[in-house]
Homo-oligomer: A and B are copies of this chain.
Amino acid sequence: MGKEGNEWVVTRTGRAPSNIAVIKYWGKRDEKLILPINSSISVTLDPAHLSATTTVSASPAFESDRLWLNGKEVSMEGVRYKNCLREMRARATDMVDERTGVTIRKQDWANVHVHIASENNFPTAAGLASSAAGFACLVFTLAQLFGVKETYEGELSAIARLGSGSACRSLYGGFVKWNMGQDVDGKDSIATQLAEHTHWDDLVIIIAVVSSQQKETSSTAGMQESVRTSPLLHFRAQEVVPQRIKQMEEAVKTCDFEEFAKLTCADSNQFHATCLDTSPPIFYLNDTSRRLIGLVERWNRFAGKPQVAYTFDAGPNAVMFARDQEVAVLLLQRLLFQFPPLPDLELSSYVVGDQSVLKSAQLDSQQDLQTIPVPAEMAGAVMPLRTPGELGYIICTRPGQGAYVLDADNVGLLDPISGLPLQLHQ
């Protein structure tokens, strides 16, 4: 090694986005290797608004592998962490650290422990695929630290998959396909990019985060139960999804919003249908989710063609795609009309993320909400419940880029000298 003793600490920081599936992954054919029963397609969310940032440090001074999530130390004994770390260590190469001048040789990595600190820029509890961003970021950043080169395309995504299935899709930006693969060892169960986020750059994503979140069935336990008990799930995986994957690939390729919306809504609903077909049934959608679906469906029908698509993961929050900025403004107006914030909340704390939609809507404060007209499709209809605070908040974002390296000196989460967390959170 380049320096004597235990003095050196090398550090890397990376960021990986969250992603939202538009053709859903639900059900594993191999629990250990996390191999799915069908392929899936996702849209990567702009890491500026929904991402994990992870700093990894290595030092011979470290006595064990340690992990801090959002400032709180958690055990690394979980098999998913262990699997990712083992696979990454096995691929470590000779590495020269420019900052410290340290050279670590391939065979030395096995004896060096790592410290890992990871944070999300969105609430973990909000049910917004934090584990996907987290594991993608872990694998991506360890690859920087260990100098890992992929020996086949998608190798890193296959390792991220060992942490959390959908994490494999978070390495890439834009529109991503997770091929279910066929190999027993999972080598071909990898993510590939269908298109960059710039390929379809007028899409706007608005996420409605529902306030009262009941305790939910974890997606890991839920999909196990579905595989075991739902007759409909197997039909879906074998007969319905393969066709939808092809159709969605084509819709993405041609930026065909109508087809994209139709497939996205239908596939979200079918995923939740298989949850309901599980014994005992799993419910992720609640009455607020139903009202959000009603809002979009009513509007789309009234407009004569889809303006907005919705999709729900294993929770009640709606992720909505507006076909362009103009429609996004109309969608945000409708959301604020039907789901007003609590009276004491600043509008800018209720609508977070990309502020351009709020600006385009010329909404600066809660008083401005009074100026929102009754949506045309509601004219003459029974006015829906409008309970302030039914939504916790609304996130505006867009399709975004995949995982990338950050300058650890500026935004690292671990002290570059001690390798311990820089900030301790509650």
How far is A278 from B215 in the complex, measured between Cα atoms in Å?
27
**Closest-CB distance, A276 to chain B (whole angstroms):** 4
Contact of A276 among B231, B236, B262, B272 (CB under 8 A): B272
Given contacts A215-B382, A239-B231, contact A277 B286 (CB under 8 A): no
| A213 smallest CB distance to B (angstroms) | 12
Q: Answer whether residue A98 sits at the interface, using C-beta atoms and an 8 A cutoff.
A: no
State whether the Cβ of A386 lies closer than 8 Å to any Cβ in chain B. Answer: no
> How far is it, in angstroms, between the C-alpha of A229 and the C-alpha of B240 when the chains are bound?
12
A179 sits at the interface (CB 8 A): no
A301 to B280, CA, bound (A): 9
CA distance A382 to B273 in the complex (A): 27
Instruction: Map CB proximity to B onto A270-291 as digits: 1 under 8 Å, 0 otherwise.
Output: 1011101111110100110010
**Residue A265 interfacial (CB < 8 Å):** yes
A281 engages B262 (CB within 8 Å): no
For residue A293, CB closer than 8 A to chain B, the reply is yes
- A195 on interface, CB distance cutoff 8 Å: no
A235 interfacial contact with B, CB 8 Å: yes
Which residues of chain B are within 8 angstroms of A69 by Cβ–Cβ distance?
none
Rank and list the top 4 A-B pairs by shortest CB-CB distance, nearest first.
Answer: A273-B273, A273-B277, A273-B276, A280-B297
Residues of A within 8 A of B (CB): 215, 229, 231-232, 235-236, 239-240, 262, 265-266, 269-270, 272-274, 276-281, 283, 286-287, 290, 293, 297, 301, 382
Task: Given contacts A231-B240, A232-B235, A232-B277, list 12 more A-B pairs with CB under 8 A.
Answer: A231-B270, A232-B236, A235-B235, A265-B279, A266-B277, A266-B279, A269-B277, A269-B278, A269-B281, A273-B277, A280-B301, A286-B287
